[in-house]
């Protein structure tokens, strides 16, 4: 158990989804909302997502143990080159063809085109 008395992830979770050590309430988790949820994201979470349109890594980012991790060297994990150049306007106007091209071999396909559009709209409204 590396956590000890650390509560960095609990304290940092933007939606308070980590309710106690080792316990995530999936019904409050940004990753659940943006990847798995098929319905609309509940409006009560408006303003809590920062810019997370697919998944969330806040808990991983604040974990002091993750500073010891090494960067990957696996080319398959690198983002599609077009992804890095998409502007905010282009995200708003993303087409299904662009979605399929950019996320061809990506986990982002799990949320489907309609889900990504929903997530973008939720962040925008």
DSSP 25-88: -GGG-HHIIIII--SPPPGGGTT-STT-SS---HHHHH-GGGGGPPPP--GGGSPPGGGGG--H
Number of domains forming the structure of the chain: 1
Quick one: pLDDT at residue 36? 95
Is residue 105 included in any domain, yes or no? yes
Is residue 2 included in any domain, yes or no? no
Is residue 38 included in any domain, yes or no? yes
Grouped pLDDT means (10 residues each) for the chain, 125 residues: 93 97 96 96 95 95 92 84 88 94 90 97 91
Is residue 96 included in any domain, yes or no? yes
Is residue 26 included in any domain, yes or no? yes
Please give the residue range of the domain that contains residue 46: 8-124
């Amino acid at each position: 158990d590396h956590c000890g008395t650390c509560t960095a992830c609990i304290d940092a979770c933007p939606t308070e989804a980590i309710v106690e050590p080792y316990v995530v309430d999936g019904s409050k988790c940004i990753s659940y909302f943006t990847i798995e949820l098929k319905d609309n994201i509940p409006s009560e979470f408006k303003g809590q997502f920062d810019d997370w349109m697919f998944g969330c890594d806040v808990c991983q980012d604040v974990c002091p143990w993750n500073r010891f991790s090494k960067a990957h060297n696996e080319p398959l994990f690198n983002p599609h080159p077009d992804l890095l150049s998409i502007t905010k306007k282009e995200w708003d106007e993303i087409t299904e063809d662009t979605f399929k091209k950019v996320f061809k071999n990506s986990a982002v396909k799990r949320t489907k085109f309609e889900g990504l559009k929903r997530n973008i709209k939720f962040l925008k409204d």
